[in-house]
A and B are shown apart, each in its own frame.
Chain A
Amino acid sequence: MPKRHWPLYLSLALFLRLLLMIGLAPSRSHGAPSQTLMDAPRQRTQSPIVTGTSVIGLKYKDGVMLAADTLASYGSLARYKSVERIRPVGESTLLGASGEYSDFQAIMEMLEDQTQEDRNMDDGFKRAPAEVHSYLRAVMYNRRNKMNPLWNYLLIAGVNPRTGGFFLGSVDHIGTAYEDDILATGFGAHLALPILRRRWRADMEEGEARALLEDCMRVLFYRDCRALNRIQIAKATREGVLVSDPYTIETSWSLAAFAQPKAGADTDGSW
């Protein structure tokens, strides 16, 4: 019966309030830094949550190519295995992203809105990849200055619709931007770039370029724990942009140490 117990509730409430008062009073009077959420310094994104790993890109004879796998990780968990991290922007630009996937989606939405605005103008103007690159540089740098970065490392590839010149550039989450003939983000900068540097030539045929990127993606799959063997390759040429459907790359596990994992058991177990 609630009616009979009301004095009990009242006294309990009063007691709790008393506890609260004496609990808070001393810490305030000592001027110690408060630990409540409201008073703590305001913090923004400190790290990405759902992430994509490396994107790699190169210029070749007829255009520019990008490659990325289709994995979005949640920490070390392979959370989403069929996610597209290379997207077309307008008719002559490609955007590949590693890092926070939701931030990439937000960036894509922004760029799509702008593409529509360009289209609405109907004056024949087409945005060049260098312009997309510079714009994203400005956005990323501005957001980092607001201490609220978009957590991505982006590759921008494409062909200038006016001059026909090829473009490959990168922007990171603090706004560092540069262009090169070969580029790689994340682990790719460590594992793929050395391969690209050794094998890349400006006059590569499309097939050669594709094979080189596949080799890089294979090495990344072997060595990067956040990578997947399901990849997409996209190309931007003077004919337009094309993002391939995701496909699985061949891998080889015939190495003796893989075939007989116990073979090294008499040593320290490593190979």
Chain B
Amino acid sequence: MSSTGAGYDLSATTFSPDGKIFQVEYATKAVENSGTAIGIKCKDGILLAVEKLLLSKLLVPGTNKRVHHVTPRIGVAVTGLTADTRQIVNRARDEAANYKESYGDYISPKLLTERVSNYVHYFTMHGSLRPFGASTLIAGYDDETKEAQLHMVEPSGVSYRYFGCAVGKGRQGAKTEIEKLKVMEMTCRVAMKHVAKILHVLHDEAKDKPFEIEMSWVCEESGFKHAMIDTQLIKDAEKWAKESIEADEMDDDE
């Protein structure tokens, strides 16, 4: 990055001469260093997957979850600073509960994304606040339009709707891999395996910390409800992924 510091990075309220807000860029950097999170829109719904880097061998399996329920039909996958992500998840739940209290119905994925975006953006506009070092993938089924949607909220507070997206350490590789897959012709169940493979391929066993995969979906199979994917199912996908990677390597050797 150009000229670190020089006084322009002390506050989220200060622009640098070339129009950047360094605090926001640093927050983005924080996300880039954490585990990869992938979201894919498939033929039958949305699949979320997170590579959860294990900080210690002493951790109990399944602690520090990164995929969360928000409403029966909406779930989020988060990556970045864990404590920051919790703040965002709590806010998303509050917004959802508040919407239901006011209007008697569940919030749509689009509106929830908008509200979470506003919340995250707010933290980039005040001198006394620090932007969130976290990105949020929001997957949900819209009862009104009868379709599953995938959105992502970035630390800047910007949000887009995606067919497929990836954030975190392995985002570049993941994005190119996703582009190669014919995602829209796959079911979530099939995509699961490919996503597991992507995460394993991108993972550098020598350099990176060991990891767990967490997955959830909002698809036909789950009745368009947001459901965590069974650990056994993920294990099966990982097994397939590892075998597939080995087969690929054999091909390369020939």
Q: Give every chain B residue within 8 A of A116 (Cβ-Cβ).
A: 69, 71-72, 97
Closest A residue, CB atoms, query B97 = A113
Asked if A122 and B100 sit within 8 Å, CB to CB, the answer is no
Closest B residue, CB atoms, query A112 = B100
> Is B228 an interface residue, CB under 8 A from the partner?
yes
> Is B121 an interface residue, CB under 8 A from the partner?
no
B121-160 residues with Cβ-Cβ distance < 8 A to A are none
What CA separation (Å) do A217 and B72 show in the bound complex?
35
Asked if B228 and A122 sit within 8 Å, CB to CB, the answer is yes
Main SS of the interface on chain A? helix
Q: Give every chain B residue within 8 A of A122 (Cβ-Cβ).
A: 65, 68-69, 228
Asked if A119 and B69 sit within 8 Å, CB to CB, the answer is yes
Asked if B65 and A120 sit within 8 Å, CB to CB, the answer is no
What CA separation (Å) do A122 and B64 show in the bound complex?
12
Asked if B72 and A120 sit within 8 Å, CB to CB, the answer is no
B6-42 residues with Cβ-Cβ distance < 8 A to A are none
What CA separation (Å) do A116 and B70 show in the bound complex?
8
Asked if B228 and A120 sit within 8 Å, CB to CB, the answer is no
Q: Give every chain A residue within 8 A of B68 (Cβ-Cβ).
A: 120, 122
What CA separation (Å) do A104 and B172 show in the bound complex?
53
> Is B161 an interface residue, CB under 8 A from the partner?
no
> Smallest Cβ distance from B90 to chain A, in angstroms?
10
> Is B86 an interface residue, CB under 8 A from the partner?
no
Q: Give every chain B residue within 8 A of A120 (Cβ-Cβ).
A: 68-70, 93
What CA separation (Å) do A120 and B72 show in the bound complex?
9
Interface centre among A109, A113, A120 (most CB of B within 10 A): A120
> Smallest Cβ distance from B97 to chain A, in angstroms?
6
What CA separation (Å) do A109 and B105 show in the bound complex?
11
Asked if A119 and B100 sit within 8 Å, CB to CB, the answer is no
Encoded as 1 (CB less than 8 Å from any B CB) or 0, chain A from 96 to 117 comes to: 0000000000000100010010
Q: Give every chain B residue within 8 A of A109 (Cβ-Cβ).
A: 101
Encoded as 1 (CB less than 8 Å from any A CB) or 0, chain B from 72 to 95 comes to: 100000000000000000000100
Encoded as 1 (CB less than 8 Å from any B CB) or 0, chain A from 117 to 140 comes to: 001101000000000000000000
Asked if B72 and A119 sit within 8 Å, CB to CB, the answer is yes
Encoded as 1 (CB less than 8 Å from any A CB) or 0, chain B from 224 to 245 comes to: 0000100000000000000000
What CA separation (Å) do A120 and B228 show in the bound complex?
11
Q: Give every chain A residue within 8 A of B100 (Cβ-Cβ).
A: 113
What CA separation (Å) do A122 and B71 show in the bound complex?
12
Encoded as 1 (CB less than 8 Å from any A CB) or 0, chain B from 88 to 114 comes to: 000001000100110000000000000
Closest B residue, CB atoms, query A113 = B97
What CA separation (Å) do A116 and B93 show in the bound complex?
10
> Smallest Cβ distance from B68 to chain A, in angstroms?
7
> Can you list 5 A-B contacts with CB-CB less than 8 angstroms, sorted by A residue number?
A113-B97, A113-B100, A113-B101, A120-B69, A122-B68
**B residues apposed to A, CB below 8 Å:** 65, 68-72, 93, 97, 100-101, 228
The 10 closest A-B pairs by CB, nearest first: A120-B69, A119-B69, A120-B93, A122-B69, A113-B97, A122-B228, A120-B68, A122-B65, A116-B71, A120-B70
**A residues apposed to B, CB below 8 Å:** 109, 113, 116, 119-120, 122
Given contacts A113-B101, A116-B69, 9 further A-B contacts (CB under 8 A): A113-B97, A113-B100, A116-B71, A116-B97, A119-B72, A120-B70, A120-B93, A122-B68, A122-B228
